[in-house]
Amino acid sequence: MSPAPKSLRARAEATKLKVQEILDISCSGHDEEVIRLIEQAIIDALLEERERCASVAFDQVCAQDRDRAHKVSEEIKRVRTALAANLGSLR
Protein backbone atom coordinates (compact mmCIF):
# COMPACT_ATOMS: atom_id res chain seq x y z
CA MET A 1 0.00 0.00 0.00
CA SER A 2 1.13 3.52 -0.71
CA PRO A 3 1.52 5.90 2.21
CA ALA A 4 -1.26 8.40 2.88
CA PRO A 5 -0.69 11.72 1.11
CA LYS A 6 0.74 14.44 3.30
CA SER A 7 -1.15 17.67 3.75
CA LEU A 8 0.43 20.96 2.77
CA ARG A 9 0.73 21.83 6.45
CA ALA A 10 2.52 18.55 7.22
CA ARG A 11 4.95 19.14 4.35
CA ALA A 12 5.66 22.68 5.56
CA GLU A 13 6.25 21.51 9.14
CA ALA A 14 8.59 18.74 7.97
CA THR A 15 10.51 21.21 5.80
CA LYS A 16 10.84 23.63 8.72
CA LEU A 17 12.27 20.87 10.90
CA LYS A 18 14.76 19.84 8.20
CA VAL A 19 15.92 23.43 7.70
CA GLN A 20 16.35 23.87 11.45
CA GLU A 21 18.34 20.65 11.62
CA ILE A 22 20.58 21.59 8.68
CA LEU A 23 21.25 25.07 10.04
CA ASP A 24 21.41 23.82 13.63
CA ILE A 25 19.07 26.59 14.77
CA SER A 26 15.76 26.97 16.53
CA CYS A 27 12.88 29.07 15.24
CA SER A 28 11.49 29.23 18.73
CA GLY A 29 8.71 31.78 18.78
CA HIS A 30 8.59 31.99 14.99
CA ASP A 31 7.41 28.49 14.10
CA GLU A 32 4.04 29.60 12.69
CA GLU A 33 5.60 32.36 10.60
CA VAL A 34 8.16 29.98 9.12
CA ILE A 35 5.53 27.31 8.41
CA ARG A 36 3.23 29.86 6.72
CA LEU A 37 6.11 31.11 4.60
CA ILE A 38 6.96 27.58 3.48
CA GLU A 39 3.27 26.86 2.74
CA GLN A 40 3.02 30.00 0.63
CA ALA A 41 6.20 29.12 -1.27
CA ILE A 42 4.76 25.69 -2.09
CA ILE A 43 1.44 27.21 -3.20
CA ASP A 44 3.18 29.82 -5.36
CA ALA A 45 5.41 27.21 -7.01
CA LEU A 46 2.45 24.94 -7.76
CA LEU A 47 0.39 27.76 -9.23
CA GLU A 48 3.26 29.03 -11.38
CA GLU A 49 3.98 25.54 -12.68
CA ARG A 50 0.30 25.00 -13.44
CA GLU A 51 0.25 28.25 -15.41
CA ARG A 52 3.38 27.21 -17.32
CA CYS A 53 1.92 23.79 -18.16
CA ALA A 54 -1.38 25.33 -19.25
CA SER A 55 0.48 27.80 -21.47
CA VAL A 56 2.53 25.07 -23.12
CA ALA A 57 -0.57 22.94 -23.66
CA PHE A 58 -2.48 25.90 -25.08
CA ASP A 59 0.31 26.60 -27.59
CA GLN A 60 0.25 22.98 -28.78
CA VAL A 61 -3.47 22.66 -29.58
CA CYS A 62 -4.89 23.15 -33.04
CA ALA A 63 -6.87 26.31 -33.79
CA GLN A 64 -10.30 24.67 -33.46
CA ASP A 65 -9.48 23.49 -29.93
CA ARG A 66 -8.14 26.84 -28.72
CA ASP A 67 -11.57 28.04 -27.64
CA ARG A 68 -12.09 24.91 -25.55
CA ALA A 69 -8.61 25.30 -24.07
CA HIS A 70 -9.39 28.93 -23.21
CA LYS A 71 -12.58 27.88 -21.39
CA VAL A 72 -10.67 25.24 -19.43
CA SER A 73 -8.02 27.82 -18.57
CA GLU A 74 -10.67 30.21 -17.26
CA GLU A 75 -12.16 27.43 -15.12
CA ILE A 76 -8.70 26.63 -13.74
CA LYS A 77 -8.26 30.29 -12.80
CA ARG A 78 -11.61 30.26 -10.96
CA VAL A 79 -10.63 27.09 -9.10
CA ARG A 80 -7.24 28.62 -8.27
CA THR A 81 -8.90 31.66 -6.75
CA ALA A 82 -11.23 29.47 -4.68
CA LEU A 83 -8.31 27.28 -3.57
CA ALA A 84 -6.28 30.29 -2.47
CA ALA A 85 -9.27 31.66 -0.53
CA ASN A 86 -9.91 28.30 1.15
CA LEU A 87 -6.26 27.81 2.08
CA GLY A 88 -6.15 31.34 3.43
CA SER A 89 -9.16 30.70 5.64
CA LEU A 90 -7.50 27.60 7.15
CA ARG A 91 -4.82 29.72 8.77
* pLDDT tens, position by position, 31-58: 888 888 999 999 999 989 988 888 887 7
- Checking if the pLDDT of 9 tops 90, the result is no
How far is C-alpha 58 from the chain's CA centre?
21
Residue 3 resides in a domain: no
Asked if residue 46 belongs to a domain, the reply is yes
In this prediction the pTM is: 0.57
**Residue 28 within any structural domain of the chain:** yes
Domain assignment of residue 2, yes or no: no
State the residue range of the domain holding 72.
8-89
Is-contact 27 16, C-beta < 8 A?
yes
Confidence of residue 87 (pLDDT cuts 50, 70, 90): confident
Domain count across the chain: 1
* Rounded Cα–Cα distance for residues 80 and 50 (Å): 10
Pair 54, 74: CB distance under 8 Å? no
Encoded amino acid at 86, one letter = N
**Type of residue found at 31:** D
